[in-house]
Structure 1
Amino acid sequence: MATDPHQQKAATMGFALRPDAWGVGYGRETVRLALDLAFTNLGLHRVWAARAPRNEASAKTLLAAGMVEEGRIRGHVFVREAWRDSITYGILKDEWAARNGPGRNVSQAACAIGLTRDVLTVTAPLTVQRHRRIIDVHLLLIRDNRVLLSLRQGGYASGQWQVPSGHLEADEPTDHGTVREGWEEIGVRVDPDHLELAHVMDHRAPGEDPRFGIFYRAHSWEGEPYNAEPDKCGGISWFPFSDIPDRTVPYHAAALQHIAAGRISSKFGWKPRP
Structure 2
Amino acid sequence: MSGLCDGRVVVVTGAGRGLGRAHALAFAAEGARLVVNDLGVGLDGAPGADDPAERVAAEIRAAGGEAVAHGGDIAVSEVAASLVATAVETYGRLDTLVNNAGFLRDRMLVNLDEDDWDAVLRVHLKGHFLPLKHAAAHWRAETKAGRTPDARIVNTSSGAGLLGSLGQGNYSAAKAGVVGLTLVAAAELRRYGVQVNAIAPAARTRMTERTFADTMAAPSVGFDAMAPENVSPLVVWLGSSASAGVSGRVFEAEGGRITVMEGWRAGPSVDKGTRWSPREVGEAALKLLGEAEVPGMVYGA
Q: TM-score range by the shorter chain?
A: under 0.3
The structure in which a higher percent of residues are helix is 2
Greater strand percent: which structure? 1
